[in-house]
Structure 1
């Protein structure tokens, strides 16, 4: 439930909830204004804004996606930064207590109450504590008046009705300490060290939302109530309601329910957030991270944040630096794809934090540990090259085209925006003192303004922000032998080398446009009730189409080729991973990846590739205007993939780092060995024990496997979205229907066979890590997905099992923060599937938790489930089913492989009624069949015993 601080600056997103926050004025009653009240930017006209006399602010918006549902947010403008020294962690503690006892919801009743309404815990009811805010979210299953009333009753309790009883405090104390343990990682430790180096005198470095263990262990009711009373005040509260309802009626409910709120205390002044120190010369820090699989480099600085009103003038002033950073990142991408480059990934970023600090910097991952010095130099030179030499018009035009396309697509899909996303963005805008304006207004303004920016403006903006707080700080972390002095020397050495700009010129013609005779249709039929059109071309290519009006101007595509993992040679483990990692990374024969990216700038074309269990999968999202180009690019990858050497080099580096990382992670066995053990040693599952097996895979082996599949393997294309059926068929006829004839898909009868281990396995792993955390993983064999009725009931059984683990391990024992049970049923391998339970635990409690998991499973076998449990789990599932009926991604799963699994259409027709019909007897029978203790395999991962 907590948002943990991962780095001092978050990655810049080039969307137009811009930086530049407004310094909001005060009304006579001391309530802050909305940003649009003092800005020339007009707020979204669909929002009803309000401010009560007690200072509480709200926003209400009608939105019909998903249909018949609503998303509510309760925001408190206070978080860990408002804590005193002896309250470190209490903001988060209060957030936990909000779900454990209030005026209208007795302790232990809230989760189950909302489950009965059709809401899942964690998915539909959740909360987040951050540095400067605490946010509670509720996703309602319907918009009935009484349902909304219930949610607002809960919000009223959040504001003025928490009981904060001693029994609840003691119960939550253990849960929060479990969450504290789960939040500990090498990455979080590195991030904290980086923050302490960058801003040693800033308050946020000493106010992580998760808090301090000693404060959590000793927190008293008086301390918790003092924080609650001081900050959960009406003038600190913002309520958002977005959904498929009458906004006037919902507004009346807010006014009626919350106007009576009054502060319970005089409150406290907000603490001073510290100071930032400018440097007159570069400063370096080395952080030894013994479990790191790679060396990371960060160069940047933190400057005081100057609050300015959120106006069009301010957004326009901020835009050049955003464009400059995008161009630097483009250059980093080009550099990292070179086989001899010292970096394999780098990102420049700028962010504003808590209205206090603006950070700018560049972060990189070194190709090899030994190359950390040239990595430092490479990062410094790339940034300095941009500052000193500037950018080309071609670079700027590419970035502007991409951004304008993104803004245009957002405007065209404004009517299909998800209520949950809208509620989150609206709340963030209010809390960050920004204007929540419409996508249409963004499009109008930026279409006019963006083309007018010059490379020189971007260069100057980058220079100004990079030098805003003096000299940079250089932070290097990893498992190497180094020192602060050596890091600084590497930086100075790189900084002494002159730089010059090299502009890469790219032709503007795509070399794979298909011309000539289009392929012919051999068969066409229409599934009337589902509005699905199925086409087979004479060359054997299959096309499945479903037009929808869910998202204007957006089409999702799926292209499935050949047999995927089923066709992989079993004596070459690691080959599917090589294919997935390098296929598109090598570009095309006539265009490398960088050229292709430039050619496709401003277009809606995606070309991902992966080895699925039963096909090679391509696809992505496009638009009606770019559909033909999307198909041409995909066809080009099938006919002329390049397999350049650079991706192979990067793949081998990534394999080494992956294996090394797995040796230091308690989750390592879950990805590396356990899947193979549970498949009785089948090499297609998990990873080989020896990394040299994977490192030895070659492009020659890849060609032997892939070339026949790409040349003649069966192809099934599916498209869902805002498409014209006739134009789409014509586009496929011009592209994929012109390929050579496709082979009939084999049955793969033998390849689909996979065995369970001959007897259950019990194994303990010892992992080389300093993180004091263990992992318990218990698996019961089940079956595959082919009998959809059984599969649905196993899903419900897993949901009930998971809820019981929540009650047992989290609520009763406080031993695990988020225990989980999942159903994993294969749609490829005959009879193969599992119910998997896992929990992150304190190492000393691992055996007890494993035993508790087994006891919960055995109780399901012996005593079965209750009608109430069944209904509490079925309700959210059925709500999700109804929501997905208007989601393109869901429909793509329905029609993507109807040639292989024609029953998927029937599965869709039956699913809501089938879920409704699931009975206690159904679930009890499956529990008795699959969950007996003697069928379970148990795995425990623990840190290496240091005694």
Structure 2
């Protein structure tokens, strides 16, 4: 259950009624200049973080294509990775891997309707020469070799195939309806299959030379650099790039969509929903007035979401059953309000949504609500810390996003002054007027319905809801004041302590709980807490597995510590705190994300969650409704049908590893729920707590002793078992498959089921991560680069933490006629891995892992996730405390030997397919 308004989100949620139309000043920390040839550069130098991030942005996207060039901007983007003056074929990717970067997260590119953006995130500034070599090649040195163009067509068609579904997601459908009467409808960045297949090196070069000109290019650099050195780099590499004659494209704004009511079949995996799309006009943030209006839009959207979440919780059982936000399509902004609910409660849910919107539109909001979006003086410290914590890749992503939207990049102090100036003028009357203006226009209304609903009835209910929405809104009941929990009933003490490092303390509480606290100044105001242990669903007897899916929701929906579910929701929202469960087949945990000022409140709530659950039949019923709906939708989806027919067979349908049936969910009792809670938080468990934050150790020590040390763990009401998969399914066919895919789409998968022991130590976990990188590189080279069968073939470890044996998986979305060929290639990779890996392969992948694990302390959320994983699984955290030492201690021979064991002849290889309906399996 995630009920969180993050600090970063709050920075975007403030608004203003009116202000001057004076021009916004750009952040003075950014150095912006222009070469004589027209190329613009933007440099942000900072030695706070070692990495360096670069973006090369071109004012060229799908809107710049002619009718005979559909998809060419995107095609040229692909060709930048397929040979240039300084890098043969995939040379840039090979070089980036050699320095520890990974294709996808660290080196990539993307194309929109008006921009093409090239992405480079370097581990340090030692590799800038190569980076600028490549950018110089992108500018005017791409080979666009005819053979490479032909090879890349299969990859791009594969990407087109992956992105085209007969049944679209709700947001994709709404986007397509918004642009239906605009130029964008015929200018999808990926193009069309005929246009892709007819492209030639000559036709692509024509587009390339027309639009890749310096006056249309922007080079962005952020990180540990010298401004003067970067300017010299840019002048040296790109100063000779000849200026062209192509003018900068005009901004294109899509026309206003006409209000209407639209019915559309829902994706099974998404479930039933209703959406309301309000046109807010052209995107505009050129001056203070426009910027403040945007903030006000976002602030009122937050208030709408907050109110609807509260109103719908008792109907849906989901704290996140409503999605509200400002989105853009074709330079036009929209307010999107989407409610998700069980199909059988559509009428009730839609009525609540429209009556709440009408009430907020016509009755406004109170001063307390306004206070939730107002900035105060102490926000200065929070925002400065947020800005100070930004990594180069995050700062440059923010800049690029703002650039693509035509927004200025504001300086920290200017932004703070603007936010606070707005807050001083904020009042309930202005916010209420803004709400009325936003919600008074007639929206486009969408109803997404499931197969077991009657379309005509859904239409009637939607028309009725639309009519109610336009009626005068009535005043709704108050949400009440601040919420408080009952006090913690028992306190504990610390009975033992040790200092693992200067910043890592370990305390043993009087009830046996072990608390690990990592003090991290970079966490600033954030505190992340994880409580858990290994075990998960594998601990439970089979008849209780379904209860494990219901217990977390039932725990909240039943109310706790004197508060009902709505009260708990408000309690968390008021404290900017999130709590959510993690229950896997082999691990269970409770995650908490809070602010240092509310840490005691979060720990007190954790105490009540463990010590005094108050399960009720009403809470269980709501939980069943929510989980049954989600599981029914998944089982009916393409992925669900594949899992039921193929994936779950690998472990012989072990209940710990698959979703329960709706029938099992419905049959779960209150006693079952309580029994699961008892097993996870019983005396027999080795419960541990991992905390990361920037509070003094003594402060944390007192807080955990008071709130967690007093928990009295009960004896489990059922005997603990271990039903995890001790072996792969013993009687498994060599070929598995199902025919549930959409027309023209196929899935090829190959599973390697080994009897090699899984993750016995942290070092083995590191080795398997290295092997995953090597296998992924081989798959990309074989299936994508050489055979052009798929856009994104991949490999991943099939086995999960603490599972007894190791397994591996390879998968790709392909043309059904090429499904067998894909698995042939996967098997070739397996045979290659079975021979071991070269020293060079081991070294490159080890370098990638080393870089991926640098700066674990930069993000408290990520740090808590990875450290708690290692701690709970019994691997210890020493390997993470000195990543370089751990990796240095792993030899290429150890990596190669494990590859031989996992992928050798003693392992069983299973081919699997998901083919279109009516198409037989290829073997």
TM-score (norm 1): 0.87
| 1:525 maps onto 2:498 in alignment | yes
Contact 1:667 1:941 survives alignment (8 Å): no
Q: How many residues align?
A: 903
| 1:578 maps onto 2:561 in alignment | no
Residue in structure 2 matched with residue 801 of structure 1 by the alignment? 775
| 1:884 maps onto 2:884 in alignment | no
Kindly state the Cα deviation for residue 93 of structure 1 after the two structures are TM-superposed: 0.7
Contact 2:579 2:593 survives alignment (8 Å): no
Residue in structure 2 matched with residue 787 of structure 1 by the alignment? 761
Residue in structure 2 matched with residue 32 of structure 1 by the alignment? none
Which of residues 304, 322, 325 in structure 1 aligns to 2:298? 322
Residue in structure 1 matched with residue 448 of structure 2 by the alignment? 477
Contact 1:894 1:904 survives alignment (8 Å): no
Contact 1:332 1:347 survives alignment (8 Å): no
Residue in structure 1 matched with residue 150 of structure 2 by the alignment? 170
Which of residues 264, 271, 276 in structure 1 aligns to 2:255? 276
Q: How far apart, CA to CA, are the structure 2 residues paired with 1:562 and 1:302?
A: 49
Which of residues 27, 30, 46 in structure 2 aligns to 1:44? 27
Residue in structure 1 matched with residue 3 of structure 2 by the alignment? none
Judge which range, 724-733 or 483-492, deviates more: 483-492
Kindly state the Cα deviation for residue 19 of structure 1 after the two structures are TM-superposed: 10
Judge which range, 920-929 or 851-860, deviates more: 920-929
| 1:736 maps onto 2:708 in alignment | yes
Structure 1: state its 5+ residue gaps: 1-11, 21-35
1:602/1:418 CA distance change after superposition, 3 Å: farther
1:597/1:440 CA distance change after superposition, 3 Å: farther
The 5-angstrom pairing of residues 706-721 of structure 1 reads 706-707=677-678, 709-710=680-681, 712=683, 714-721=686-693
Q: Provide Cα deviations, 1:758-779, integer angstroms capped at 9, x if missing partner.
A: 2554343334453532222222
Contact 2:361 2:473 survives alignment (8 Å): no
| 1:224 maps onto 2:199 in alignment | no
1:464/1:664 CA distance change after superposition, 3 Å: same
1:374/1:608 CA distance change after superposition, 3 Å: closer
Q: How far apart, CA to CA, are the structure 2 residues paired with 1:889 and 1:735?
A: 22
Kindly state the Cα deviation for residue 710 of structure 1 after the two structures are TM-superposed: 3.8
Which of residues 218, 222, 236 in structure 1 aligns to 2:216? 236
Q: How far apart, CA to CA, are the structure 2 residues paired with 1:43 and 1:639?
A: 53
Contact 1:837 1:853 survives alignment (8 Å): yes
| 1:254 maps onto 2:234 in alignment | yes
Contact 1:201 1:274 survives alignment (8 Å): no
Which of residues 68, 71, 77 in structure 2 aligns to 1:95? 77
Q: Provide Cα deviations, 1:157-206, integer angstroms capped at 9, x if missing partner.
A: 11221121211111111100001111122554765553454443212222
1:657/1:621 CA distance change after superposition, 3 Å: closer
Contact 1:556 1:621 survives alignment (8 Å): yes
Q: Provide Cα deviations, 1:363-416, integer angstroms capped at 9, x if missing partner.
A: 223421x55555555443332222112112233323447x99888534323222
Q: How far apart, CA to CA, are the structure 2 residues paired with 1:871 and 1:711?
A: 45
Give SS of 1:684's match. helix
| 1:332 maps onto 2:332 in alignment | no
Q: How far apart, CA to CA, are the structure 1 residues paired with 2:14 and 2:215?
A: 25
Residue in structure 1 matched with residue 405 of structure 2 by the alignment? 432
CA RMSD of aligned residues (A): 3.5
Structure 2: state its 5+ residue gaps: 1-7
| 1:387 maps onto 2:358 in alignment | no
Residue in structure 2 matched with residue 310 of structure 1 by the alignment? 287
1:416/1:320 CA distance change after superposition, 3 Å: closer
Residue in structure 2 matched with residue 853 of structure 1 by the alignment? 826
Kindly state the Cα deviation for residue 97 of structure 1 after the two structures are TM-superposed: 0.6
Q: How far apart, CA to CA, are the structure 2 residues paired with 1:342 and 1:563?
A: 26
Which of residues 505, 510, 513 in structure 2 aligns to 1:538? 510
Q: How far apart, CA to CA, are the structure 1 residues paired with 2:578 and 2:666?
A: 28
Contact 1:774 1:843 survives alignment (8 Å): yes
The 5-angstrom pairing of residues 181-200 of structure 1 reads 181-186=161-166, 188=168, 191=171, 193-200=173-180
1:945/1:715 CA distance change after superposition, 3 Å: same
1:523/1:648 CA distance change after superposition, 3 Å: same
Kindly state the Cα deviation for residue 99 of structure 1 after the two structures are TM-superposed: 0.8
Contact 1:17 1:429 survives alignment (8 Å): no
Contact 1:800 1:869 survives alignment (8 Å): yes
Kindly state the Cα deviation for residue 732 of structure 1 after the two structures are TM-superposed: 1.2
1:620/1:45 CA distance change after superposition, 3 Å: farther
Kindly state the Cα deviation for residue 418 of structure 1 after the two structures are TM-superposed: 1.4
Residue in structure 2 matched with residue 360 of structure 1 by the alignment? 335
Q: How far apart, CA to CA, are the structure 2 residues paired with 1:616 and 1:375?
A: 33
Which of residues 805, 814, 836 in structure 1 aligns to 2:809? 836
Kindly state the Cα deviation for residue 76 of structure 1 after the two structures are TM-superposed: 1.4
Residue in structure 1 matched with residue 44 of structure 2 by the alignment? 61
Judge which range, 333-342 or 695-704, deviates more: 333-342
| 1:704 maps onto 2:675 in alignment | yes
Q: How far apart, CA to CA, are the structure 1 residues paired with 2:869 and 2:147?
A: 53
1:413/1:551 CA distance change after superposition, 3 Å: farther
Residue in structure 2 matched with residue 3 of structure 1 by the alignment? none
Q: How far apart, CA to CA, are the structure 1 residues paired with 2:412 and 2:262?
A: 43
Contact 1:676 1:683 survives alignment (8 Å): no
1:756/1:406 CA distance change after superposition, 3 Å: farther
Kindly state the Cα deviation for residue 632 of structure 1 after the two structures are TM-superposed: 1.4
Residue in structure 2 matched with residue 139 of structure 1 by the alignment? 121
Q: How far apart, CA to CA, are the structure 2 residues paired with 1:799 and 1:753?
A: 25
Residue in structure 1 matched with residue 477 of structure 2 by the alignment? 503
Judge which range, 651-660 or 384-393, deviates more: 651-660
| 1:921 maps onto 2:876 in alignment | no
Q: Provide Cα deviations, 1:398-457, integer angstroms capped at 9, x if missing partner.
A: 3447x9988853432322211111011112223323222244543444345326422222
Kindly state the Cα deviation for residue 349 of structure 1 after the two structures are TM-superposed: 2.9
1:727/1:186 CA distance change after superposition, 3 Å: farther
